[in-house]
Structure 1
Amino acid sequence: MIKNKARIYGVPDGCKSAFLYERIEGEAPRAWYGTLANYLLGNRFHKEKIDQTLFIKKQQRDILLVQVYVDDIIFGSTKKELCIEFEKLIKDKFQMSSMRELTFFLGLQVKQKEDGIFISRDKYVAEILRKFNLSDVKSANTPVD
């Protein structure tokens, strides 16, 4: 099951993120989400039942996933052309500050390579080590099964 999920995002260019030009505050996030949701639903996406911020579009054997988090969007597909179509669809309706390969999301670092997608918290760990003056401490390996 995990392999199949990873495969959806398996193309190195396949996962991207998009950011709106300005931060959304107050009641605006709900209104923006409603506008975005209606736009996606009107363009043959369907909303996931469990996660109402996940939108899915299926085209024959391919799938495009769009995850919305406040004013950030991440998306990926099994087919690069679906990502390109989605970029155009979004840019036609909304002004985006940037659309690029996903490298950081919700505090997680994301590295996309040919053999998979790797998620880490290296930046956070380094910050904690600095905070407690442990940056220069000698490290030790731990045994792995």
Structure 2
Amino acid sequence: MKKMFEVSMNGELSYFLGLQVQQSDRGMFVSQTKYTKELVKKFGLDGKSHAKTPASISMKLLVNLTGNSVDQTLYRSMIGNLLYLTTSRPDISFSVGVCDSFQVNSKESHLTAVKRVIHYVNGTVNYGIWYFRSTNLNLEGYSDADWAGCADDRKSASGGCFYVGTNLMASLSKK
């Protein structure tokens, strides 16, 4: 490959497209700590209380035709930033996906849910994904669905994840 293309070696990979990469004998840890801190600061939610979970289990987000509308640009900006963060944070994928579905007509309740996700990531800025060195190359997949769990349209939400050995390779969450 070096014969066909000009290649330069700048040392061990440590930062790439907003992803921080830490390599060790055990494997590789990928996180977005710097990006997360900037995201929280950008929306003025630094120094606020942290949430223990990305979403409330007692409150379901619904289409709200009568509530107070919020600034669509702000809401979409928050969602876009959080969607990029899901690259190394599968723990927020479902919550961000649910909030994402309300971009067309977002209300105060939806904005509150997005802010809760940001409060959660503010308290978990050092989270990321470990890719361990392993000789185990078994492919495993898991999935689940809530079967018509959306009260608005009776559609199901499903999710899944795929592992090679103990390493998460892909995850999905879809309505």
Same fold (TM over 0.5): no
Return the TM-score normalized by structure 1: 0.31
Higher strand share: 1
Higher relative contact order, chain-length normalized (CA < 8 Å, sep 6+)? 1
Return the TM-score normalized by structure 2: 0.26
